[in-house]
Structure 1
């Protein structure tokens, strides 16, 4: 993989703005990068991007799903002084929100704002003991009135996204960005097709950028109904447990130690036959990996595996710090090894192997 080309793609994907229901911008970026490696590009009626690459038409169909949407906010009202009231779209923890810079995407262009609240100097001692409630926050865009904000193009329903630019750290393999959850999965779906461009694979591969994952795995459900896959991989971010205060009981994984093969999450138990194939492939290809669980979260696999009469599915994640905030951090080597692992598994997934999986 070309480092500079990959970093450029990751920057374009993560810098794009797209909360659930507003994924056009990242979808266009993904389409631009994946189209050269696809036989066909289509979308479902909710807007999920589906890139098809045919290896052997008689082989099983494999769905690789990353989701296009990121957690963000939506304008719900403009008060008479020009401050924006908002609603979260996707899960947010209030303590990571205050004083953070945001972008409001309006019909007249993008506007910068900052999330504000009462200053601590005028709060009661009792109020200072807890976290600020999201309902007591607002967004300041520098408008002097409701009318001025409206003149700038702001109206209820407008998308609000974290404002943060893709940034390699001093250690160049550590990459800081907004929207790793889950433009990282979309990038892996692109790079798997890139690796398969001139390679034989005994199947049909669908690399998918799903929509509205953060509000209920919705695009995974509709795109899987359209594809009707035989096998599926949900590719997402996972929890990195290598920061202060996290115990091994809470998270086993570390940055730089390889992709996480998820045993179960709140929406599914991984398919044993598929899980064994992936683990065996990783061991035979000398690809580092980590086994983990996400008891408090779910991924697109949770919706895909319930499609039609059932789809053997597995979630593969990249350990990531500080997800569902303005800036998350992951390790480039984990990204590369996830691409390698999924690519190697795809090359092994012929019709006989699929039959062995469903009979295991």
Structure 2
């Protein structure tokens, strides 16, 4: 059985761009085999793992999205070069000179992102990032027919091709999809630890789809479950690196899980924030209070579902978010797990 540390190594390289999360879902089902009471999936691909509690009418839902940012093939030219557009929010500056992989019906096809060589780049061009629409993917072919023969076609999804690792044997993991395989790793570990516990609420551990393209999977999940309280589990940008001041990103890397108070899509009710803080302090779990002005999580869509859901978010601090080298700290993962488990163990009635 994979540990929390090993889960990151195994989860991160799996291909799972928004709309193509099946391989991630398969891993999570296997990782949780025998650790839940009920399982089902909905038509969108959301995965539901249920741990029954003493009170079947009291429901807690945890939601971690499986998808990663990526790209989708939009055109193949006569020379065989592949053109693509973003799936999710990208910084075009980090896409150049990368190895990408296309998930085709014939298997994975690798390519390199190409742009104009430095020898012919003008002084004006040097000051600008290159828009993704101006990049191309070179898959090593010399004609459109050769590229098509590899299995590449319009509509195929593309991801960064990188194997994640712990830097220099330490606690900092870096990979292509820590957003949000870190959340998936926490979700898996929480469900494992709850498996043998007698708890009051029934817990729905849900691995969601299509978060990066507009929180599209989480809304239907909220409607289906209608929990008494829900917690999204996701990463959040951490500061502390050169070029970023504490006012821009005050969340510290490795200093504990972050309890969200507010973001661009979710105002967490004070009573839920207070409860999470109380649990963290009672159990001496390191935590931080989070306000994020740009971006949101599945929590937004869940909170607005059905008659409305009391929703919060447990955030894992992450450096270099939305790039091929996103990073998280193992201690922050563990403290996120501890907080969620302690919160559920103490959840005996509606807040």
TM-score range, shorter chain: over 0.9
Aligned to 1:278: 276
- C-alpha separation between the residues in 2 aligned to 1:34 and 1:228? 23
1:126-275 equivalent positions in 2, closer than 5 A: 126-275=124-273
1:18 deviation in Å?
0.9
**Secondary structure, aligned partner of 2:7:** helix
**Secondary structure, aligned partner of 1:207:** strand
- C-alpha separation between the residues in 2 aligned to 1:5 and 1:343? 16
Using the size of structure 2 for normalisation, the TM-score is 0.98
Aligned to 2:52: 54
- C-alpha separation between the residues in 1 aligned to 2:82 and 2:66? 26
1:175 touches 1:330 (CA, 8 Å); kept in 2? yes
Aligned to 1:115: 113
1:76 touches 1:157 (CA, 8 Å); kept in 2? yes
Unpaired segments ≥5 residues, structure 2: none
**Secondary structure, aligned partner of 1:215:** coil
Tell me whether 325-334 or 113-122 shows the greater mean CA deviation: 113-122
**Secondary structure, aligned partner of 2:234:** strand
**Secondary structure, aligned partner of 1:214:** coil
**Deviations 1:140-175 (CA, angstroms, capped at 9, x unpaired):** 110111000111111111110001112011152111
1:186 touches 1:208 (CA, 8 Å); kept in 2? no
Using the size of structure 1 for normalisation, the TM-score is 0.95
Aligned to 1:333: 331
1:124 deviation in Å?
2.2
1:9 deviation in Å?
2.0
Aligned to 2:340: 342
Unpaired segments ≥5 residues, structure 1: none
2:5 touches 2:330 (CA, 8 Å); kept in 1? no
**Deviations 1:234-279 (CA, angstroms, capped at 9, x unpaired):** 1100111111111111111111110011110110101211111100
Q: Matched residue pairs, number?
A: 351
- C-alpha separation between the residues in 2 aligned to 1:188 and 1:227? 20
Q: Does 1:14 align with 2:12?
A: yes
1:280 deviation in Å?
0.4
**Secondary structure, aligned partner of 1:15:** coil
RMSD: 1.2
